[in-house]
A = this chain, B = another copy of it.
């Protein structure tokens, strides 16, 4: 007789965390966790009673996302980057992810620096490639 716990038979093993659990681990509000799931940043399985059950990877994704948001990435962009992350990421997978995110952050910083350098080196502020004196339509 192997009939035992049939309640969460459809929830894969490892998916034991509730919304509140993930929220506590990731340091965000439960509402935010639902928001991220709605937007595909994380995924959940559902119990027979329609409750979400998360993986610990979900909490990890959220933590990374919060830091990535600080460098200007939108939830949508972060979701896209996460699209390449396997369901059960190995350290190398995290490393690849890190490369992508850091590269993006550095590219944006480089753009900022480059533009500021341009302004600074232009003797008289940034009258760069703008035609002053005309008023063409938009």
Q: Which A residues are closer than 8 A to B by beta carbons?
A: 13-14, 17-18, 20-21, 23-25, 30, 55-57, 59-60, 63-64, 67-73, 87-91, 94-95, 97-98, 101-102, 105-106, 108-109, 111-113, 115-117, 119-121, 123, 125-132, 135-136, 138
A30 to B20, CA, bound (A): 44
A97 to B68, CA, bound (A): 24
Asked if B13 and A131 sit within 8 Å, CB to CB, the answer is yes
Asked if B138 and A20 sit within 8 Å, CB to CB, the answer is yes
One complex includes copies of this chain to the number of 2
CB-CB nearest in chain B for A24: B138
List B contacts of A64 (CB < 8 A): 115-116, 119, 126
